[in-house]
Amino acid sequence: MYVCLCNGVTESAIRNAVDEGVRTYRELSFKTGCGTTCGSCVPVARALLQECLSET
C-alpha cells in the first residue's frame, strides 16, 4: 500500500527503512523521500513510523 503517492513510498518501504536503522521522521524522509513533495502523507507516515518503532 502506498503511503506517499507523490514519491511512490510504500508501507513496506517504510518498514524496511526502520529495519535498516531509521529512527526519526527526518531520517525516514531523507532516506525514502516520503513527505518531501505535497506533505499530505506526513501524518500517516509519522504514525506508521511510530508503529514500526514500537515493534522493534
Q: Which residues form the interface with ligand FES (CB under 6 A)? A: 4-7, 34-41
**Which CB, 13 or 35, lies closer to ligand FES?**
35
Q: At what angle do helices 11-19 and 42-55 cross, to 10 degrees?
A: 40
Tell me how far, at minimum, the Cβ of 20 lies from ligand FES, in Å.
20
Chain position carrying cell 518503532: 53
For residue 3, the minimal CB distance to ligand FES (Å) is 7
Which CB atom, from 48 or from 56, has the smaller least distance to ligand FES? 48
Distances (CA, A) of 23 to 4, 28, 42, 43, 51: 18, 8, 15, 16, 11
